[in-house]
Amino acid sequence: MAVISPNVLVHFPVITTPKVRFTGSRSKVRCSNSMDYGKAKMMEFPYASAPIKKLMVELLSTVDDKLGSSLHATSTLPSHVQHFGNSTRTAQASLHLRSGLPSSQIDLVLGGWIHCKLPSGGALSITSLSAYLTSSTDAPHFLLELIQSSPTSLVLILDLTPRKDLILYPEYLKNYYEDTQLDRHRQRLQALPEVTPYYSPSLYIRAVLSPTAILVTLASESKSIEQLIEDDISPIAKDLLHFWIESCACLAREVDASERAYLAERDRVIKNKTIEVDLGSSLPRLFGQEIADRVLDALKEYYNK
């Protein structure tokens, strides 16, 4: 998962993405079709609404089509972590992690969902997709999370998370966020009457995200949540993933040895902090400490390789 907030138990046309201007040397990284995920592809999303399931299937299919040859064909996680639930069957979850091949600049792609029945009689459903790059590039990571705790409201977190200090490296800010006009997605989405800004209670989470991050709450008004996802969220999410694949995952950037060490350490800290702030707080409450420890230990083992 990515940045689940502990206290959340809560039509644009497709926009063509402008080309990114880079000042350093660059070259295309081999990104092409590959073999099928098989049953472990995690395409069922049994508790997600039809529009969320459709969106996630399309996003994962795009990852497989465009980046599959750069990823291991099967999940890196052990089978008992790929799908798990609590003893009372009130909470279930699935995690699917595909690591990048040694020749790839993709570190990992992690997809997952959590479903938990709430004491109020409703249910909490979280669906996420995140992708990390290796220290061979300084391009941003990708993050998508949909958090729904009722049929009439949903929290969306969507971002290309920066890998560098945007004050110390203003050209990075210009290349990835200003010249590309990524903020237009947030601006157009927040212009909808059903959309209001969402403020994560975690200062750490807010510090990790970019200035163009989309953090919003959708509430049913003239449109249903399903229609908002179909008409408004899906085009933006697909456009942002396409941009990330073409301009981040599949475009090499020259990174020297000292910079690689900095990026590797920064990514390691972020991954482990994400486990601590996000899953470390939510999994024990939803699944019990024993199952949570099993899942967290498996993730930590991979994250700290």
The Cα 190–Cα 186 span in angstroms is: 6
Question: Which tokens sit at 170?
Answer: 């203003």
Question: Which tokens sit at 15?
Answer: 């926009």
The per-residue pLDDT for range 128-143, each reduced to its tens digit, is 999 999 999 999 999 9
The per-residue pLDDT for range 46-73, each reduced to its tens digit, is 999 999 999 999 999 999 999 999 999 8
pLDDT at 274: 82
Question: Which tokens sit at 147?
Answer: 């958090």
- CATH number of this structure's domain 26-303: 3.40.1500.20
The per-residue pLDDT for range 171-228, each reduced to its tens digit, is 999 999 999 999 999 999 999 999 999 998 888 888 999 999 999 999 987 789 999 9
pLDDT at 223: 86
Helical ranges in 5-112 per DSSP H: 50-67, 79-82
Angle at 125 between CA 123 and CA 131, to 5 degrees: 170
pLDDT at 31: 55
pLDDT average, residue stretch 160-168:
96
* Whether residue 23 has pLDDT greater than 80: no
**Which range (6-10, 204-208, 271-275, 290-294) has the least confidence?**
6-10
Nearest Cα to Cα of residue 142 among 156, 157, 127, 154: 157
Percent of residues, the chain, with pLDDT higher than 70: 86
pTM, rounded to two decimals: 0.88
